[in-house]
Every structure is written in structure tokens, then in C-alpha cells.
Amino acid sequence: MPKNGSVLIIGAGIVGMKAGLMLAGASKKVHLVEKLPIIGGKVIKNEESFPNMECSTCMVAPVQQEVLQNPNIETYTYSDVESLSGSKGCYEVVIRRKARYISLVNCIGCGMCYDPCPVSIPNMWEENLMDMKAVYVPTAGSLPNVPVIDSSKCLHLNGTQECNLCVESCVFDAIDLNDSDEVVTVEVEAVLIASGSGLFDLSALPNLGYGDLSAVYSPLEFERLFASNGPTQGELTLRGSDISPERIAIIHCAGRSEVGYCSTVCCMYSFKFVRFLLHKLPEARIYDLYLDICVPGKSYQNFFTTLGEGSTTMLFTPSLEDVCVTESDSALRISYPDTSGESRELDVDMVILTAAIVPDSDLPELARIAGVELDKFGFIKRTDEGSGSTETTKAGIFAAGTVTGPGDIQRSVIQGESAAGQIMELMSTIDGEKV
């Protein structure tokens, strides 16, 4: 296969987008594949990012826009990589573009089709905290701002009835209910996997009550609850009610000993949550139940110390395994051993668990398709990680961001830039010789 100057990037989060823009800027053709209907990744789920408390969407939107407008980047949203074969320097990739039923060219994102749709389904992007229609964009501000139709829920597409309400509502002729999947084959010289990570399944910790007790929240649920473009428009109210919590506890390190590593970002987002809470509920009492405070790097500790005296009550517990959350008469009761090992109780209205970062549930399958090995924690292994390389166990395939293990935005971006550099190096060599 001749050298065609093309690269495949899997995952259009901040890492994939930034690396894609770098490579596109160097006149490489980038095929950017994203499984969701929108690009932007996990960062845009956060209203604000630590440590500068910057508006995340404002930080990412220009990057998203640039990606969509860059003539050297072919973006495949709502798409999966089905197969990847070949070796270093020449890979053949089969990409399945799932039927979207809405034209990316004709649709201008006016949103006129949502109201007429008679089907409501839980919105997973919003952590199921709200419903959406069967024709939907995952969240306000989605890019590309073009909806997609859930074919299993749409009455027309699942054969329940001849519903054409969305088609009738569209003045741009953008909806085509006969749309079908499209399979595209491309040839690339190198591959970058930047498909991100998942969160520890909190229901595996029954002592903490997640899933059973409605006032116990995962960190992403809380992020969306706080988000001004989220399910409550940023109103901090308890699930299923319009009551704001008065006492909130954040329990650190949920899943840390189960996964066997410290995820390093949870302390930081916990303190971000404290800021959120102080901002929206200044009267609230906040507690942080913790074992260690992990705030590595030059700018993180300051984020914690500048919270100020009395903003949150730091409760040290030597044994997080012995922490228990149960229902009490009026709210939730947390029992925990204190510094001296004595059992204590704390009544609160809301509990937020800081869950460990774990490999995405789709990663084993993707790794199988790509033929790359995973490390003992289930993240993508790099052959020469010790010297900062991003190359996986398969030559010509690189990995960056939290698909390689927990990390913050900075480190993920740095990995993406490194990968872009390694891909440039690879592409400038012929038979291993630099040109």
C-alpha cells in the first residue's frame, strides 16, 4: 500500500480532537471516529474544570468547532471501528457509520422535530436524570448540532406505527427514515486510540448505598445536576423532588482498594464540588470523608487550601471499608470509624461518592479489534511507558488519555501531543529511515 498520509483516531474527546488538529495542521488526513452522536468527550459534561474553574464548554467548544470545519479531518460521529487489520505503516480500517436518519448536511439544528415526537426515553448522556425524545441531541450545545433517531425506540423505525411527525415538522428535508448504516473502508498509516475511560460501578459497594438510596449520587450525576445546561438547569435539588439538600457528604476513594490504584483526580473534583455547593447553597454544611488527600502537581493543593476554613468539614477515617450509608428517619445516616477507630454517625441529605476511574466497558472489545494488549488494570498497555512513549504493544498504534489509565486533562492532552509527534515521526520514515 502506498503511503497516503492518513491517520485514524478513535475517540473525539479533548485528546483525540487536539491530536487530530495537530496532525491535520501538518497536512495529514485524519479519520476521527466517535461512537457518540456528538464530539467533545467527557470534559464537556463538567460545567467547570479544575483548577481554574473555567467553563468547560467554553474551553472545548472552539476546539470542537475547529475539528468540524477542518478540511483535513473527516469526522465520523455515531460510528464504530469494526475491524482493523494490517501492520505498522499500513492499516485497513472498516468504520460503520450508524444510521442517524438525519442529514448532517441539511439539518441546521433548529430543534423543531423534538416536540412532535411522541416517545420519551431516559437520556443516558445526562446520567438518566432526565428524559429525551426518540429524536434527540444528547445535550444542549451538542456539536455537531444535528439530532439522531434512536431506531429501537422510534415508533416508525421499530415498526410500532406509521409515525412521521418528525419528518413532517422538518422544513429542511433533513430527516430520512429510510437511512441505513454505511460501511466505509479507509487505509491509514497510523492509529491513535483516545477513547477515554469509565467510572467504577458504585453498586459493587453495597455498604455505600448507591442505587438503593436515591440521595446517593455518582460524581457524573452530580456534575450534570450542577450543570446549567443539565437536567435541572443547574438547580441543586434532590432526585425526584424540588428540595435542596442542607447537609452534603462527599465520600472519597470509592472503589480505590477494589481497583488497586489511586485515580488521582477524585480529590480535585471533590473540592470542585465543594466550590459548586458553596456557590449555589451557601448555607449548606459540607463534609468530606477521606483517607488521603491526593493533590499532586504545582497547582492542585492550592485549590484545596483556598477553599478556606469552615467551607467543608474534613473527616478523616482510617478505614473506608467500614463506612456505611443507610437510610435514617429523615435522611441518610453515615457511620464511620474516626481517627481513633471509634464508630461515629453523621446524618446528611445527600451523599456524593467519588468513584475510581476504570477502563471503559467497550475497551476490551476495541482492544481485541485493534490487537493491542491491556495492562493488569485493563487499560491499554504501552511498550515503553517508562520513557513516555505512547506506542501500544502493536507497532503503529498509539494510545493517549485516560484509555491508558487515570489522569487529568493536562496529562491527557500531553499524551495526545506526544502521540501526534510519534505519529509524525513514524510517517516521516520509510523502512525505518528518517527522511
Partner 1 sequence: MKAKVGVYVCECGPNIAGKTDLDEIITYLSEFRGFGDVELVVRKYGFLCSNQGKEYLEKEIRDLGLTHLVVGACSPRDHDSTFKDVCGKTQLNPYLYKIINIREHCTWVIDDMDKATEKAKSYLRAGIARVLYQSELFESPIDVNPDVLVIGGGVAGMEAALALAGENRSVTIVEKNDTLGGRAGKLRGFSFQEFNKPEQVEKLIETILGNPCINVFLDSEVTSVIGFLGNFEIEHVSLESKVITELFCGSIITATGADLYETTEESGFKYSESDDVYNSMEITEMLSSGDEITLRSGKEPETIAIVHCVGREELGYCSGVCCTVMMKTANMIKARYPDIRITQFYRDICLPPSGGQELYAAARSSGVNFVKVQSTGLSGTTVKFKEKNGDEGEQFFDMVLLASALVPSKDTPALSELLGIPVDETGFFQEAHRMTNPSATTTDGVFIVGTSQGPRNISDSMLFARASAGQILTKLLVGEKLVPEVAVTEILEAYCTGCGNCLDVCVYGAIYPDEARGISIVNEAICRGCGNCYGSCPSGALRTKHFTNIQLFREVDEALR
Shortest separation between residue 349's beta carbon and partner 1, angstroms: 28
- Structural Rg of the chain based on CA atoms: 23
- Closest to partner 1 by CB, 350 vs 397, is 397
Helices (H), 10-164: 14-25, 56-69
Q: Is 387 in the site for partner 1 (CB under 8 A)?
A: yes
Q: Is 18 in the site for partner 1 (CB under 8 A)?
A: yes
Residues 6+ apart with CB under 8 A from 286: 247, 248, 249, 250, 274, 277, 278, 311, 312, 313
Q: Is 296 in the site for partner 1 (CB under 8 A)?
A: yes
Touching partner 1, residues 156-175 (CB under 8 A) = 171-172
Shortest separation between residue 290's beta carbon and partner 1, angstroms: 9
265: nearest Cα among 253, 249, 279, 278: 253
Q: Candidates 25-33, 184-192, 218-226, 232-240: pick the segment binding partner 1 (CB under 8 A).
A: 25-33
- Closest to partner 1 by CB, 4 vs 237, is 4
The residue from 113, 175, 205, 413 that contacts partner 1 (CB under 8 A) is 413
The residue from 301, 311, 335, 393 that contacts partner 1 (CB under 8 A) is 301
End-to-end C-alpha distance for the chain, whole angstroms? 19
The residue from 129, 167, 316, 324 that contacts partner 1 (CB under 8 A) is 316
Q: In whole angstroms, what is the distance from residue 36 CA to residue 325 CA? A: 34
The residue from 1, 3, 25, 319 that contacts partner 1 (CB under 8 A) is 25
- Closest to partner 1 by CB, 371 vs 421, is 421
- Closest to partner 1 by CB, 56 vs 79, is 56
Q: Which residue has the cell 477515617?
A: 317
The residue from 292, 321, 322, 347 that contacts partner 1 (CB under 8 A) is 292
Other beta carbons within 10 Å of 164 = 13
- Closest to partner 1 by CB, 259 vs 331, is 259
Touching partner 1, residues 35-64 (CB under 8 A) = 49, 51-52, 54, 59, 63
Q: In whole angstroms, what is the distance from residue 16 CA to residue 401 CA? A: 9
Residues 6+ apart with CB under 8 A from 385: none
Per-residue string for binding with partner 1, 172-211, x by CB under 8 A?
A: x---------------------------------------
Shortest separation between residue 277's beta carbon and partner 1, angstroms: 22
Other beta carbons within 10 Å of 412 = 26
Q: Is 395 in the site for partner 1 (CB under 8 A)?
A: no
Q: Which residue has the cell 491499554?
A: 380
- Closest to partner 1 by CB, 209 vs 406, is 406
Q: Is 377 in the site for partner 1 (CB under 8 A)?
A: yes
Q: Which residues pair with 427 in a beta bridge?
A: none
Q: Is 261 in the site for partner 1 (CB under 8 A)?
A: yes
DSSP for 62-88, written as a single string: HHHHHHHH-TTEEEE-SEEEEEEEEET
**How many residues lie near partner 1 (CB under 8 A)?**
70
- Evaluate whether 359 touches 374 at the Cβ level (below 8 Å): yes
User: Distances in Å between the alpha carbon of 218 and those of 56, 196, 214, 304, 378?
Assistant: 19, 18, 11, 21, 22
Q: Is 114 in the site for partner 1 (CB under 8 A)?
A: no
Q: Is 298 in the site for partner 1 (CB under 8 A)?
A: yes
Q: In whole angstroms, what is the distance from residue 434 CA to residue 424 CA? A: 11
3-state SS, residue 10: strand
- Closest to partner 1 by CB, 64 vs 218, is 64
Q: In whole angstroms, what is the distance from residue 295 CA to residue 311 CA? A: 18
Q: Candidates 32-40, 215-223, 233-241, 418-426: pick the segment binding partner 1 (CB under 8 A).
A: 418-426
C-alpha cell at 113: 422535530
Q: Is 260 in the site for partner 1 (CB under 8 A)?
A: yes
**Which stretch of DSSP H or E encloses residue 346?**
strand 343-348
Shortest separation between residue 259's beta carbon and partner 1, angstroms: 9
Point out which residues bind partner 1 (CB under 8 A): 14, 18, 22-23, 25-27, 49, 51-52, 54, 59, 63, 65, 69, 108, 110, 171-172, 256, 260-262, 264, 292-302, 305, 316, 318, 339-340, 375, 377, 379, 384-390, 405-406, 408-411, 413-415, 417-422, 424-425, 428, 434-435
